[in-house]
Amino acid sequence: MATTSLEALESQRQQLLKQFVGTNLQDAPVPSAILDLAKVKRNCTRMLESIDALGFGWRAHIKTHK
């Protein structure tokens, strides 16, 4: 299994930021995943609050591999 150094990931991150931050959405390559971080955080908070209000024991998680 190949690993990627944190330095390489940071370099890629900086390149992507330089390329895309401040550009128009219609200029993004297709297909693209465009996330509004504030909305994602707000929706996660609302979901967890709703689950808590119902008294369910639930742990939020995501699957990042197959």
What per-residue confidence (pLDDT) applies to 63? 75
What is the phi/psi pair of residue 2, to 5°?
A: -80, 145
| Arithmetic mean of pLDDT, 6-19 | 91
What per-residue confidence (pLDDT) applies to 10? 92
Q: Tell me the domain boundaries of the chain.
A: 33-66
| Arithmetic mean of pLDDT, 48-63 | 84
pTM summary value: 0.55
What per-residue confidence (pLDDT) applies to 2? 62
CA distance 60 to 52: 12
pLDDT-based confidence at 3, cuts 50/70/90? Answer: low
